Amino acid sequence: MVKRDYSSEQVEFTKLRYLLHLRYCAIIMVLIVMVAMTFSLSTDDQSVANYNFAATISSIILAVVAILFTFWDVAGQNKNIRQMQNIADNLSSSVEDIKLLEEISINNMEELAKYFQQLTDHLENQDDKLKKFMEVIMERSSTDEKGEKSVSLEVIKDTTHEVFETIPRLAPLSSLNFSERPEIVSLGKVTEELSNNIRLYHQLKKKQQNLNDPNKRRE
């Protein structure tokens, strides 16, 4: 005896096929019963009148249900459209905030580059001044009895004042005020808000597609 191994997909397909057969068999049986009742009761005027009245009432009830369902569906779609519009506005605002933050970051980088350039020039100037200071000290130094050169404290003070006093002071880095500008938006907050809005937008869009799809709506 051969043992058959059925996969879960094959079993599921077999169940769906049997269910489909059961459905159209039931539909055929209902049609047969309706045709039989129609022929058997066609000669009875009272039965025909009752069936006509029942069909009319059923049509009215179904029409009212369809109208109510249409109103409910339209209201839900309008709500989703408003939410999607709000999300679109939030996304636009977030994009503008990111652009503003990018512009501010570029400006700050330019200011920082200028500051480092000033710092480099300042250090180069200090190096030149230091060389000049040593040259002046050597020129103003005196020779003692042993033939060794010495420099007095007064000469050093005067030379220091004369050489280094002309160097311009470098502005402190804190004067750039990178973190104190009120227009700077937190990048982490903007990014998180943008991500949440995009996720909610896709959820509403998928819900809108499901409402517009009659097959999914019946399910």
Return per-residue pLDDT of the chain as tens, 219 residues.
Answer: 444 555 677 778 788 888 888 888 999 999 998 888 777 777 777 877 887 888 899 999 999 999 998 888 888 788 878 888 887 777 777 777 777 777 777 777 777 777 777 777 766 766 666 777 677 666 666 655 555 555 556 666 666 655 555 545 545 544 444 444 444 445 555 555 656 666 666 666 666 666 666 555 555
* pLDDT given at position 210: 67
Facing residues of 143 across strands?
149
Helix axes 45-140, 8-41, angle to 10 degrees: 150
The residue whose two tokens read 């269910």 is 19
Alpha-carbon gap, residue 204 to 201, rounded angstroms: 5
Q: Are 82 and 206 within 8 A, CB to CB?
A: no
The residue whose two tokens read 């220091």 is 160
Enter the pTM of the model.
Answer: 0.33
149 three-class SS? strand
* pLDDT given at position 75: 80
Beta strands in 79-207 (DSSP E): 142-143, 149-150
53-87 as b/e: b if 16+ CB within 10 A: eeeeeeeeeeeeeeeeeeeeeeeeeeebeebbeeb
Q: Are 84 and 205 within 8 A, CB to CB?
A: yes
* pLDDT given at position 29: 93
Dihedral sign, Cα of residue 21, residue 26, residue 31, residue 37: positive
